[in-house]
Structure formats: structure tokens, C-alpha cells
Amino acid sequence: MDLSGRCVGSSYVLQRPIGQGATGTVWEALDQSTGRSVAVKLLHESLLRQPKLVTRFVQERTILRMLRHRNVVRVRDLFSVGETIGLVMDLVSGGSLRDLLRTEHTVGPGEAARLTAQVAAALAEAHDLGVVHRDLKPDNILLAMADGRPDTRLTDFGVARILNTPSMTTPSAVVGTPHYMSPEAFHGATASPATDVYALGVLLYELVSGHPPYMSDSIPDLMRRHLEGNPIRRPGIPGPVWDVITACMEQKPRLRPTAAELVADLSDAARRFADVPALPPPSTESLLEQARPAPILQPAIEPVRSEPLLPPPPESLVPAPRRPERRNAVPSWRWARPGATMALIAGAMVASAVATTAWNIGRSDSTPQDLAAPQVVTAPASTTLTRPSSAAAAPGRAAATAAATTPAGAPGRRALAADSRPISPSATPAPPAPPRSAAPAATHTRPSPTRSPKPEAKPYGPWECSSGIAVDWQTKMGVVAKPCRMSGRDIRYQGSLTGPGGGRGRITVELQDTSTGRTVDGPRTCDNLSFEGRLGTQNCGPESAKPARGHSYAVVVSFSYEREGQTLTSKAKGPTFTW
């Protein structure tokens, strides 16, 4: 429907359509109150009867109002007129990165790194607030001219998901554009900042190469290529730029860098390769070859031949060694369990024999010995040990063969006689031992025991935080709460609250046992907190707790935030951990 000239909202006159997406059409409009041109995104009327899409459309405004970044399209207003909902944004008249690729085909490595560094900075701001874009692609990156060169403006957070809030998409639903989706996104995994980082690597590849790393008209084939993860490097891509691409496109999300880390790497690459020209546009043949589905390899069936392909090898003059074939022999693995069982039985028998021998050796002639009691002998490093000869020591050998010098009357010590028999202090002295053989006694020096050095453990681990966003849909006011904790000798935990400046708030933080829901430490309340600046942050804590070990706990932050007569009250619960 042609809506040119129609006034919507309070003072917005639609002039011409400039774009169309999955949820609505974007119009260039004139704001009569200021005389400036703005962009108005109208939700498709056919979608108004779907509550999830309407909520998602309203969420886009709320998210963009929270994102105050120069590389994010700024939202001005949200209105409803009749059966239509409209979103008013800044007008970015430079087109999109998709338009740039249509005209230029490829972008120089330095310029591509500069543009993606700006997108990474915008993503870092969004990820810090717990927001994942989930549909990063050239169509959603607008261009604005600044100082004679284009700057990026990230837009279309319509399918973005606020972390730690119930998803508005169907569980395990696949969301995104297949060419830019991460491997885990094809399986419907929960969106994470690593999902956006993967799409950023695909975007950088497309800017310098002129096409995405994997091209196919078949979604199953695209899925297979993303899961295999083997992008082809075009000749001429600088090494540092290629390193960023491969790091972003790692198969495992935990191996990818964060958006904040990419800002520094891409900015450095933009300076180093600012004068490197762009690669030539990809040829039609290379694009067709890239998009052709990979063949399915199957075992070939050879036809029956009457003659061998190769002549038979000459017979050797040396006869081959005779090796009996074990065609029907029992597989060796079948003996693994019985062998292991027999080894355990043999070990038990050996241990029993050793214990019996020790018991017999530890007995004196007629005096029963208590082998369960520890026979402790303390000797300095210079103690002289006398080893009896084999002929004389057999009848009188005791459990301990070391002779130690003990001060007379030392309590708790057992004296050792010359024949190395341990005797109790009240026992009658034994008759002197018969003279030993003429073999000289060997003298040994016992080395002092040494302990292997162990590194000193750190008292605590790093802080682990999670973000939760609370939004008042009527007043369009939102705040971010962060429960944090770290573990060590005890548990340290705290809570923080971030909200727009000019408000006052209250934070209560406590530690709960997740299995019972019982508060095991706290609550600690920080009241009358003032939030200054554009976005203010206040902390409550840290607190220390030593609950029972082996249980699962979570940090819970309850808060209230008041600004301009409106109050927002909610709570955020951190992830469960075991201490």
C-alpha cells in the first residue's frame, strides 16, 4: 500500500519506502516538530495478530534505547496509530554494507578491518548489557558518511535476545541467516556472544573476498560446510586479517575471542593495511565452483577383469616364514576381563603373603606383638644403622632393623636393644646376643627426607558475573542487575545495578541454597543509592560466606530503582555453582 504523504504518530509524514525486512517496512519520513528527516519502521499489518512478533517489535525499541553507542542506530520514538505500530529511528542515508558490496564487490583489507572494528565495538556494548544480536549480516549494517568515509551503524535488533530472560522464539528454533550462522546455531543452541563473533568473522571474509566463505543454495549443504569448518583463503588476504577470520570462525564457541578483544586486533590491522588495495572481484567460475555442492563419496565398484591390472611380482628365492593363520582363534580381547580378574586375585594373594610374613617376622620368640600399633622410631640424619649378618639375624630379627639412639627416660619412645628387638620399658632385659660373625658391619647414613615443592594455591578464583535486564514496558525504563561471586577459602559475592542517571535505587544481595531455596548468608541491603551520569552503576558488597561444602548455591540480587516518579522492582539470580 502506498502511504506516501500520510501522517503517522504525532508528527511524522511518510515520504518514500527505503527498505523492507521480515517484520516491517522502513520509510523515510519528515518530523514536522523538528524539520529533520527520520526513518520510520512500520510493522506489517498481517503480523499484528501474532503477539510474539508484536512483543519482539517493541523489544527492539527497548534494546536500542539502552544501547547508547555511536555505531548503533539511535531510536527516537515508538508510537501506535490505528492497527499499526511504528518505530522512529535516526535516518542513515548511506545505504548498507550490502549496497557497498554490490557496487564495489570487494573492500580493501584495511578498510574492511576498520568497518568491522566499529561493528565489534557496537557488539561489545550490546554484549556487556547481555544482548545478543543473532542476525548480524551486511544488510543490517548501515553506513553514514563521516569525514569523507563511511562509518557503520548497527541496526535491526528485532530478533535479538536479552540473556537471562525467557526467549520469545520457539525452543531449539533456528534463528538467523544461513550464510552467517554459527555451527551451534544450526542445532538451535542458546544464543551467546560467541554467535555474533562467528557472524563477524563471516562478514570480514565477505568484505575482503567478495562472497561469504561458504556458498550454496541448499541449506543442508550450507549446514554441512559450516559444521566442517574449512574456509578457503583467497590469495592476497594479509596474514593478520586471516588470523582474525579463522579465530572468529572457530568451531567451538569458547575458543572464539570476545568482541571487545577484536576491537584492538581489527584497529591494528586497519592501520597496518590502510594502503593495501582491494582484491579483484571474484570470477563467475570461482563463484560457481564455490557454490557447487560437494560430491558424496561412495566406494567404487570395480568391474570383473579377466587379467590383472599389474603383472604379478616375481617369486622370491627366500622362502617366506611360516606363520600359522589364526582364522578361528578366539579374539584376544575376550581374555582381557579374565586376565584382569586373575591379576587382581594374584595381587591379593601376594599382599596376603607379605602380610603373613611381616606378622611372623614381627613376632619375638614367645612375646606376642601388636602389629596394628605404629612402631615409630625417630632418628636424626646421622644415625648409624647396623645390619646383622644373615646367619645370626634369622632367629632374632625384629620388625625394625634400625638401631637408634634415644635419650634415657624419653616418654613415648621404645628403646632398641643391641639385637634390634623392640621391647617395652617394663619388660625384662633379654640376655646378651651371641657374638656376631667376623663380617664387618656396614654403616649407612640415612638421607634427610625431602618434600617436593608445591605451588602455592591462589586464595580465590576470578569474579564470575551474569547479567539480567528488567524492563518496564509501560514506562520503557530498563536497568541491568549483575550477581557476581568468586570461590576460594570461602565464597565472596556481591551485586551491582546499572540504570539511567538521575535515579535512586536499593540493592539487596544474598546467597541461597538452590536445592532448598533457603538463604544461607545475608541478606545484605544497600539503600539510598544515587545513579549519576548517563548510565550509573552502584555495587552492594562484597560479602563473605562459608556454607556447607558439596551443595549448590546461587547469588540472588533483589533491587528497586526509582526515577521521575516511576519505580521498577525485580530480582536477578546468578547461575548455580557447587562449592
Residue numbers annotated as active site: 135
Cell output for 177: 541467516
Half-sphere CA count of 61, side-chain side, radius 13 A: 25
Q: Is omega for the bond preceding 547 within 30 degrees of 0, making it cis?
A: no
Cell output for 566: 516511576
Known binding residues = 41
Q: At residue 144, what is the residue type?
A: A
Q: How far is CA 165 from CA 140, 191, 466, 468, 470, in A?
A: 24, 12, 12, 7, 9
Distant-in-sequence, close-in-space partners of 369: CB < 8 Å, separation ≥ 6? 362, 363, 399
Strands (E) located in 341-404: none
Residue 350: helix, strand or coil by DSSP? helix
Q: By C-alpha distance, which of 16, 12, 22 is closest to 3?
A: 16
- Sheet-wide strand order for 24-31: 7-8, 12-20, 24-31, 36-43, 84-90, 75-81
Say how far residue 528 (Cα) sits from the centre of its chain. 36
CB 58 within 8 A of CB 78: yes
Q: How far from each other are the two terminal CA atoms of the chain, in whole angstroms?
A: 61
Q: What are the φ and ψ backbone dihedral angles of 524, each rounded to 5 degrees?
A: -110, 130
Q: By C-alpha distance, which of 469, 485, 528 is closest to 503?
A: 528
Burial class (CB in 10 A: 0-12, 13-18, 19+), 294: exposed
Q: Is omega for the bond preceding 523 within 30 degrees of 0, making it cis?
A: yes
Q: What is the DSSP letter of 95?
A: -
Cell output for 240: 593478520
Find the length of the chain: 579
The CB-based long-range contact list for 356-363 (8 Å cut-off, 24+ gap) reads: 358/399, 361/397, 361/398, 361/399, 362/398, 362/399
Q: In the chain, what's the furthest Cα-to-Cα distance?
A: 126
Specify the residue for cell string 535516526.
90
Whole-angstrom distance, CA of residue 141 vs CA of residue 134: 13
The CB-based long-range contact list for 286-291 (8 Å cut-off, 24+ gap) reads: 287/211, 287/215, 290/211, 290/214, 290/215, 290/232, 291/215, 291/216, 291/217
CB 44 within 8 A of CB 24: yes
Q: At residue 284, what is the residue type?
A: T
Cell output for 392: 645370626
Q: By C-alpha distance, which of 264, 293, 270 is closest to 109?
A: 270
Known binding residues for ATP = 41
Q: What are the φ and ψ backbone dihedral angles of 219, each rounded to 5 degrees?
A: -65, -40
